[in-house]
Structure 1
Amino acid sequence: MRLTYSAQSPESIGFLLLPRFAMVAFFSAIEPLRIANRLTGESLFEWDLVSRDGRPVTASNGMAIDADHGLEDAPLTPSLAVCASFAPDDAIDETLIRWLRERAAQGCVLGGMDTGCVVLAAAGLLDDQTVTLHWESLPEFRARFPQVDAVESLYEVTAEGFSCAGGSSAIDMSLDLIRRRHGDDLAERVCAQLLHDQGRRPASRQRDPLMPEDPLLVRAIALMEANLDTPLGIGELAAELDLSWRRLERLFVRQLGTSPQRIYMARRLDHAHRLLRETRHSVMEIALACGFGSASSFTRAFRRQHGLTPSELRRRPSAAAAAGPLSHREPSSLELSSLEPSSLELSNRA
């Protein structure tokens, strides 16, 4: 999926499948390429599936996919997509990092799907690059890898590499590849076969979470998400937007039916829910990462939002294998209203 490619068809693309990779993203990347081959009657694209040891890899939905190669015998393809999803850190070790660095040194253009960029960043292969990954993983990724420009777009393709946010965004990235290599007509025909919206471009946002049309509220929510670990006071948030805090309060209540404090708290607690399920950080570390000064205040707020304590969530047998945390959906108005103002830990200072 490199930006430019002058070799003859078929164009070879490698997919490194890591345990618990996102099946939907993987299939979404492959299917447009398969359809392009079928519509033209030519082998425009081919792909090699790689696992650590050449054995089948189990995706996050429990299904296993056969691999064509292990790391030791994988062919050097012009580009390679690292496919991950939940707990990408579990797959990272010196062997994998060394292999990825060797591929990059040999001219292979590397990319990440869903959370694949976590693996590439840990290998030091994304410094000063612009990438994207699933919106839910962005706050932690930005904090962990400040040297990487991580944005909330559907996909990114540059001379250095490529990335997509997972899910259906992989369709958009593959359609972009088809369009660049073989023209708009073929891309549109593939799009029609997929019944896919042709209007999505790389800079399209991944989601529209409780997002009003008012650009001030769009900016306000973006500021909240950029400051989950050190929450801004509502006065500080309003000042960033050149508003009074009273006007900001009125905007949220009028357009979203709740206060900025409640929205902010819900986002912090949903981020905490994901960290509890997908990382090994302690409860106290997660509390601090989500802007809480103590484990007790974090536990009280978490129970009000999610109906159980952080420790109880981690003890659930299904926690490690669940398809996704509650933060994959937006909190309902009932859940938002259940957050008591006294628990919000946000000030209305001007």
Structure 2
Amino acid sequence: MAISSVSRERDLGVSEPQTLGFLLLDNFTLISLASAIEPLRMANQLAGRELYRWYIITLDGAPVRASDGMQVTPDASTQAPLNLDWLVVCGGVAPQRAVSPALLNWLQSRGRTLRRVGSVCTGSWALAQAGLLDGYESSIHWECLAAMQEAYPRTAWSTRLFSIDRDRFTASGGTAPLDMMLNLIGRDHGRELSAAISEMFICERVRGEEDQQRVPLKHVLGTTQPKLLEIVALMEANIEEPIELDELASYVDVSRRQLERLFQRHLHCSPSRYYLKLRLTRARQLLKQTPLPIIEIASACGFVSTPHFSKCYREYFGTPPREDRGESVKIRRLEPILRQPTAEDALMQFSSASVALNHARGEPTYASIALR
């Protein structure tokens, strides 16, 4: 027997509007924030009442810039007396630079008491550093996967588009938060509502937790070269201790010569060159995203000596690893100068959700989904 919307909401404890706080970190990605908020706005519009309300928050209440340079003025600081049900940390470029002791203290004090805690894009970096993802499965953009696995091994990092694990939810970035929110809305208010929101946003389908991120190589090759994909997967899983090419060939039951031909035909390089590229790319991620010493990064990426690592790195990227790390430090020192301080804004009398809902009253879809 189908569960009615009324009993569903009563069972889930969501008959009252759920209040979300979107905590913006410096250089957050705007597309991820919009992908997370817009489904909530449309849920209210289609239901004809405020199922969700939300506030934009920054640590000190000052405006913050997105990674595209756009400045966003928040509704409140972390010190405002907001009665939140959910917290969503929104990250973007270089999240480790945006995480301060004050931010971590606030996350730890609030994060363990809320109904749901989550993140979009690289906001999971802050949650992991605060210890709020220990023992949870969490999603992160594939570009940051190596650094997150190295820095926070107590979290089960996934390449899924998003993960919902008990009271934690994390989305990899881009448009993945849209699918994650549609799944959460469906859990709270039924699939009819989430499907209707998807139709309003011209989405072909609501992607689920089983959907994986499209890692570039798999996207390019599809399923036409399973042996090549298997070899590359073995390479990616054995960065710290590289496997000899003859051994790789034997694992997938091809000859060394066949292995060479596969790489030349489809990836336009030798397998040894491709393996080196994987190791150097991982090294660059660790160099820019973690404070690990260069000698440890070299070892973690399968190089027997730091001089050999530096030589290969310079030949491939055109700059030595120390210089690359120096550029990251230089940018970090410039950020306080580039930021424009403003006076703290007063907390809005009405939530953004109520304003948007009022504007939507003239829309033909207003209250088109009955959730009595």
TM band (smaller chain): 0.7 to 0.9
The answer on whether the counterparts of 1:130 and 1:148 sit within 8 Å (CA) in structure 2 is yes
Query: What's the secondary structure of 1:229's corresponding residue?
Result: coil
Query: What's the secondary structure of 2:77's corresponding residue?
Result: coil
CA distance in 2, matches of 1:109, 1:78: 7
Q: Structure 2 length as normaliser, TM-score?
A: 0.75
Indicate whether 1:299 and 2:306 are aligned: no
Indicate whether 1:128 and 2:135 are aligned: yes
2:279 is matched with 268
1:237-283 deviations in Å (ceiling 9; x for gaps): 44655666555445444544443322222222223333444444454
- Cα distance, 1:15 vs. partner? 1.2
Question: Match for 2:49: what amino acid?
Answer: E
CA distance in 1, matches of 2:131, 2:250: 37
CA distance in 1, matches of 2:205, 2:149: 30
Q: Structure 1 length as normaliser, TM-score?
A: 0.79
The answer on whether the counterparts of 2:310 and 2:320 sit within 8 Å (CA) in structure 1 is yes
CA distance in 1, matches of 2:31, 2:240: 30
Aligned residues: 318
Question: Match for 1:226: what amino acid?
Answer: A
1:332 is matched with none
Spell out the pairing of 1:70-81 with structure 2 (5 A cutoff): 70-81=77-88
Which of the numbers 49, 60, 64 marks the counterpart of 1:57? Answer: 64
CA distance in 1, matches of 2:105, 2:77: 14
- Cα distance, 1:52 vs. partner? 0.7
- Cα distance, 1:29 vs. partner? 0.8
Query: What's the secondary structure of 2:89's corresponding residue?
Result: strand
CA distance in 2, matches of 1:143, 1:238: 28
Query: What's the secondary structure of 2:76's corresponding residue?
Result: coil
1:164 is matched with 171
Spell out the pairing of 1:200-349 with structure 2 (5 A cutoff): 200-211=207-218, 212=221, 213=223, 214-238=225-249, 241=252, 248-314=259-325, 320=331
Indicate whether 1:188 and 2:195 are aligned: yes
Which one has the largest radius of gyration?
A: 2
CA distance in 2, matches of 1:175, 1:153: 16
CA distance in 1, matches of 2:129, 2:139: 15
Which of the numbers 27, 34, 41 marks the counterpart of 1:27? Answer: 34
2:154 is matched with 147
CA distance in 2, matches of 1:19, 1:288: 32
1:96 is matched with 103
CA distance in 2, matches of 1:58, 1:316: 20
CA distance in 2, matches of 1:101, 1:314: 30
The answer on whether the counterparts of 1:114 and 1:167 sit within 8 Å (CA) in structure 2 is yes
Q: 1:221 to 1:320 in 2, by over 3 A?
A: farther
Q: 1:242 to 1:102 in 2, by over 3 A?
A: farther
CA distance in 2, matches of 1:257, 1:320: 35
- Cα distance, 1:106 vs. partner? 2.0
2:48 is matched with 41
Query: What's the secondary structure of 1:115's corresponding residue?
Result: helix
2:368 is matched with none
The answer on whether the counterparts of 1:277 and 1:320 sit within 8 Å (CA) in structure 2 is no
Q: 1:276 to 1:62 in 2, by over 3 A?
A: farther
Unpaired segments of 5 or more residues in structure 1? Answer: 322-350
CA distance in 2, matches of 1:209, 1:286: 24
1:262-305 deviations in Å (ceiling 9; x for gaps): 22222222233334444444544443343323343333323333
Q: Percent identity?
A: 37
Which of the numbers 166, 176, 183 marks the counterpart of 1:176? Answer: 183
1:137 is matched with 144
Question: Match for 2:308: what amino acid?
Answer: S
Q: 1:99 to 1:177 in 2, by over 3 A?
A: same
CA distance in 1, matches of 2:251, 2:124: 30
Indicate whether 1:118 and 2:125 are aligned: yes
Question: Match for 1:112: what amino acid?
Answer: S
1:81-125 deviations in Å (ceiling 9; x for gaps): 111122222233433222222223323421122222222222222
The answer on whether the counterparts of 1:56 and 1:67 sit within 8 Å (CA) in structure 2 is yes
Question: Match for 2:69: what amino acid?
Answer: G
